[in-house]
Chains A and B, each alone.
Chain A
Amino acid sequence: MNKKEIIKKLQPLVALVVMVLVLSLMSDKFLTFANGRNILLQISVNLCLSLGMTLVILTGGIDLSVGAILAFAGAFAAGLLKNGIILGRFGLAVQFTVFGAVLAGILAGFVLGWFNGLVITKFRLPPFVATLGMLSIARGLTMLWTGGFPVTDLGTKFDFMGAGFFLGIPMAVWISAALVAFFYLVTRRTILGRYIYAVGGSEKAAAFSGINVDRIKLWVYALTGALAAIGGLIVTARLDAADPKAGEGYELDSIAAVVIGGTSLSGGEGSILGTVLGCLIIGVLNNGLFLLDISPFWQQVIKGFVILAAVAADKFGTRRQSYS
């Protein structure tokens, strides 16, 4: 790794440190344990989505449906937990346990993600279009499943996942931290991880070297759906309600976190740790702007500029590398 590459990799970390320093000076409430814990809690859902988005972007794709899958999975699990399934013909009702509902929610996300992968690999639709279609499908399914109303009162056992604490740290943070560790290992230490980078680096070269590109993509989109579902379960548990409109715009936040974290939109380059930094940067930015009492409208504008700056820095760095 040459000097320029090291500088490029350290960009997000430097940006985060600078932001933390500046915000600590501007607000005495920023650098406290409670606020730090709050930031980690706030980013936990985005982290789940962004881990999946990192895998997708590493393969050179994009997934616009993660927010919608999040909403569907949360509503699906909540509906099963609250109402179960009526098997009228058999005179039976299937009552789901918390474990069953959580499992079903993750499975639902996995299946929708897998469908994304199927459409992209078998019908050769561009990921942008395929996942845009899924965004609409999942939103529609959520409305059909819930009738457009929130599913509430899910019980303390289920809510523990989003609102509970373990060793003074929110459960949502533990869950996202475990996922970060798992996917860090997947991308760094497994064959699947190496294949993901290979597919994103050059699909043709990967195919020539014997990698089943379609299968890798299928797995990546399915895992992204499952991760979005976990995010949906956390959101639902935190609110003690599945909101059919949950997750609107979350896909943009997750893409932003991945890009800010240094993952190249053209694929093959990036890391899970970079994405964690990207999520932290967005979380710290949101939190800091809120503490500084900056209007939410300006917050959107500032976030937009930060994303543009991150992408511009990435492009600039890539161009300089290719020239040199």
Chain B
Amino acid sequence: MRAVTWIIAIAVAAAVCGLFPPFHLVPLKTAAAEQKAKAFDTTRFAGTFWTNRLLPSLDKAVPARELLSAIQNDPPAAKKKYSRSLGLDENYYYFLRGDGKVVSISDDEISLAISKDSTNAEVALETGLVFGDALRDGTGLLNVNDYPNSQDFNDLSAALDRIVETNVIPQLRGQAKPGETISFAGCAEVDDESTDLKPLKVIPIQTLTP
């Protein structure tokens, strides 16, 4: 009787496993290829995003003069109208473009006067090491919900920052001379309301000289 019970149990288990196979055996090479195809290539994605989506969207950035004027008049209103935030922390971001006259050059930044006849540094284009999520979160082009793995989304920030460090900053350093006018587009990260926004520190995405 006991043997019959066992035989029936094994037969049922075999039938279930036949209908719903618990695993598949695949050659190691195929498995490795599948794994690689599934993996998110952050660097490649960042490069494609930069060329195909970010650069064509620079005209959507808010004009720097309009933004700076709004920040000067009413910072909370400027934040409400122009900033973006993922809501994960208190940081918020501005996506801006404009042109300005180079007023000073240091190791870490190139300062621009934006307003007409101004000689004060109103925008500082960062030229040192780039950190943070401004490029990823500031443009509104990337949505955290599109990335099931938060690690991939975090890596994307670093990959975009590396593009700025390797492609944008060396070119900007070569172009910038005191008194020259530079057109720029970039993103600014503001930690909290109390941050000093004079000058507004901007991570450059694109810079051009006339």
Interface residues of A (CB under 8 A from B): 84, 86-88, 91-97, 99-101, 103-104, 152-153, 240
Contact = CB atoms under 8 A, between A and B. Distances in A.
Given A92-B26, A153-B148, A97 B20 contact: yes
A99 B22 contact: yes
Interface of B: 20-32, 148-151
Contacts of A86: 28, 31
A84 B31 contact: yes
B22 A152 contact: no
A92 B27 contact: yes
9 contacts: A84-B31, A91-B28, A92-B26, A93-B26, A94-B23, A97-B20, A97-B23, A99-B22, A103-B22
B151 A100 contact: no
Contacts of A96: 22-23
Contact of A91 (B23, B27, B149, B151): B27
B22 A93 contact: no
Contacts of A95: 23-26, 31
Contacts of B150: 152
A86 B30 CA distance: 12
Contacts of B25: 92-95
Nearest to B149: A153
Nearest to B24: A95
A152 B153 CA distance: 13
Given A93-B26, A94-B24, A95-B25, 7 more contacts: A84-B31, A92-B28, A93-B27, A95-B24, A95-B26, A99-B22, A101-B22
A240 B30 CA distance: 26
Nearest to A88: B28
Contacts of A101: 22
A97 B148 contact: no
Given A103-B22, A104-B22, A152 B149 contact: yes
B148 A93 contact: no
Given A152-B149, A153-B148, A97 B22 contact: yes
B34 to A, nearest CB: 8
Contacts of A152: 149-151
A87 B24 CA distance: 12
A94 B24 CA distance: 6
Nearest to B150: A152
Contacts of B31: 84, 86, 93, 95
A103 B29 CA distance: 26
A103 B30 CA distance: 25
Nearest to B35: A83
Contacts of B148: 153, 240
A96 B28 CA distance: 14
B68 to A, nearest CB: 42
Contact of A93 (B28, B149, B151): B28
B21 A100 contact: yes
A151 B151 CA distance: 12
Nearest to A92: B25
B26 A97 contact: no
A100 B28 contact: no
A153 B25 CA distance: 22
Contacts of B32: 93
Contacts of B28: 86-88, 91-93
Contacts of B26: 92-93, 95
A245 B29 CA distance: 33
Contacts of A104: 22
B39 to A, nearest CB: 10
Nearest to B30: A93
A241 B129 CA distance: 33
Contacts of A87: 28
Contacts of A103: 22
B157 to A, nearest CB: 18
A103 B13 CA distance: 12
A94 B32 CA distance: 12
B152 to A, nearest CB: 9
